[in-house]
Amino acid sequence: MISFKEISPSEFFYQHRELAGFSNPARALYSAIRELVENSLDACDGYGILPDVLIRITETEPSPSDIKEFEIYIKDNGIGIPPERLPRALGKVFYGSKFTLKQSRGTFGMGGTMSILYAQITTNKPLRVWSNTGNGETHYFELMIDIENNKPMVLKHKKFYPENWRGTAIKINMLGDYVRSSQKIQEYFRRLALFTPYANIVFEDPNGEVFAFKRSVDKVPPPPREVQPHPKGVDLELLRRVVQRSTSKTALSLLTNSFQRVGRKTALEILKMANVDPNKRPSELKMEEMMSLINAMKTYEKFLPPDPSCLSPLGKELIEEGIKKELNPQFVYALSRKPSSYEGYPFIVEAAVASDKTPGIKVLRYANRIPLLYDEKSDVVWKLLNEEIDLKRYKIDEDEPVMILTHVCSTKVPYKTVGKEFVADIPEVEKEMKLALQKVLREYSLFIGKKVKIEAQKKKKNVYELYLPMIAKFAALLGETKTPNVSGLIDSVKVVDIE
């Protein structure tokens, strides 16, 4: 007899935790920290709040093994979680507030939840959370996840008021390995701080070391706005949902109200192409009519590209500011490309280049403002820098002390896995990334050119400084005259600084 069974999403991720970046105790600690930090940042800068995030890891009991139980405590000043949503937001896989067409660090309603699930299965201790949406009430919950049913179980719920703060604080206990993950975790915070110069981020590690990254600008990039889907990305499932949820009375108003970039004129043209009556009630559309509408939308050529207001790039100024704050380089140059799109999703590529202090090319990749640290070789940036772009053309060899930074932001970053570590080589993204990289590399090679010139001038000046006074002295001795003053001559050898 074959037996059939259904499993819940949390059961699935319980069994396949490596898919979400929780493959072993070292990687799990790294992933848990980053998912929690990213939730905190989303809850702040996604709403125009300057983030203050504290994260503290403590060893709960001394143990000789590298795999220990750690308590992770994180506190932010974000928008908080409404108490009626909180148990599900944190105790149910695939439940969250980010399933909208708007850029955020979270994507699947599972990152933070997965950290909580992993904590539970390794220590069997509940999640403790305090949250205040700014209305004077702090709600405290103790929660566990019913993994088989993908449901939160509330063990305790208390309310405290009046409490004058806003934000969320979370405590979990999990097994982790800080010995094998400390380097990656510290690197993660350094890269995160570099790309979030408007945030205060404090990380206290289990050895008592404090990594404090102070904000250097009081400016949050404009938060993204939620938008309607672009017609180029439509499929049958999307159209069916749009029809179900819409209150529009006619096919014409359905198109103009439920999609971006569709005005009355465009809608009429599409309906004509699809041979659908503009006055037809959406609920009465037949399957063939839906299919021909989808076809018409996919082949219509005159749509404006997707609305980029749902994106929140960091921008040239803040990228350069972040790099200066963390690296203090001699040279930095950043750019933000114009919005582009793939399959109806808008995206923006940003890139930067900076001189570094240690030899070697370093590549810092970001997506939706998250630093990506793993699987570098699977990323489109690696492909471009190693196979498509000839770095020698830019006077860069492998020892060049240079840092190259890339950022892709989109409502749907084409990650290849749910672990969010590398970006796929979608042709549109690849093309934009290539143009961005070529431009920053060109700027860098101009800087190298200037640097070489300046060094040559400095050398020349040093030689003059050394020998001219001696020559003057001997010449004077020979000619039995007074030694002439040569400082004017030396000063005439100019060394221009790199601006």
Ligand X SMILES: Nc1ncnc2c1ncn2[C@@H]1O[C@H](COP(=O)(O)OP(=O)(O)O)[C@@H](O)[C@H]1O
Confirm or reject binding of residue 168 to ligand X (CB under 6 A).
Answer: yes
- Per-residue contact track with ligand X, 352 to 371, x per CB under 6 A? --------------------
- Per-residue contact track with ligand X, 170 to 199, x per CB under 6 A? ------------------------------
- Per-residue contact track with Mg ion, 37 to 66, x per CB under 5 A? --x---------------------------
Q: Closest CB to Mg ion among 46 and 106? A: 106
From the list Mg ion, ligand X, none, which binds 76 (C-beta under 5 to 8 Å, kind-based)?
Answer: ligand X
From the list Mg ion, ligand X, none, which binds 340 (C-beta under 5 to 8 Å, kind-based)?
Answer: none
Residues 6+ apart with CB under 8 A from 463: none
* Angstrom distance (rounded) from CA 35 to CA 413: 16
- Per-residue contact track with ligand X, 77 to 116, x per CB under 6 A? -xx-x-------xx-----xxx-------xxxxxxxx---
Judge whether 389 and 396 are in contact, CB under 8 Å: no
From the list ligand X, Mg ion, none, which binds 98 (C-beta under 5 to 8 Å, kind-based)?
Answer: ligand X
From the list Mg ion, ligand X, none, which binds 40 (C-beta under 5 to 8 Å, kind-based)?
Answer: ligand X
Size of the site for ligand X (CB under 6 A): 22
* Angstrom distance (rounded) from CA 292 to CA 286: 10
Of 34-42, 250-258, 348-356, 480-488, which part binds ligand X (CB under 6 A)?
34-42
Of 98-106, 117-125, 214-222, 351-359, which part binds Mg ion (CB under 5 A)?
98-106
248 φ/ψ angles, rounded to the nearest 5 degrees: -65, 145
* Angstrom distance (rounded) from CA 270 to CA 371: 41
For 252-305, the DSSP string reads HHHHHHHSTT--HHHHHHHHHHHT--TTS-GGG--HHHHHHHHHHHHH---PPP
Q: Closest CB to ligand X among 8 and 182? A: 8
CA 22 vs CA 144, 151, 182: distances in Å: 18, 20, 16
CA-derived radius of gyration, the chain: 29
Q: Beta partners for 349?
A: 408
CB of 34 to Mg ion, least distance (A): 9
Confirm or reject binding of residue 45 to ligand X (CB under 6 A).
Answer: no
CB of 259 to ligand X, least distance (A): 24
For 49-102, the DSSP string reads PPPEEEEEEEESS--SSSEEEEEEEEEE-S----TTTHHHHHHSTT--S--SSS
473 φ/ψ angles, rounded to the nearest 5 degrees: -65, -50
**Dihedral angle at the C-alpha atoms of 390, 394, 398, 403, nearest 10 degrees?**
-110
* Angstrom distance (rounded) from CA 318 to CA 196: 8
Of 39-47, 177-185, 216-224, 430-438, which part binds ligand X (CB under 6 A)?
39-47
Of 72-80, 152-160, 249-257, 373-381, which part binds ligand X (CB under 6 A)?
72-80
Confirm or reject binding of residue 419 to Mg ion (CB under 5 A).
Answer: no
Dihedral sign of CA atoms 410, 414, 420, 425 in order:
negative
Binding site for ligand X (CB under 6 A): 35, 39-40, 43, 76, 78-79, 81, 89-90, 96-98, 106-113, 168
Binding site for Mg ion (CB under 5 A): 39, 106, 111-112
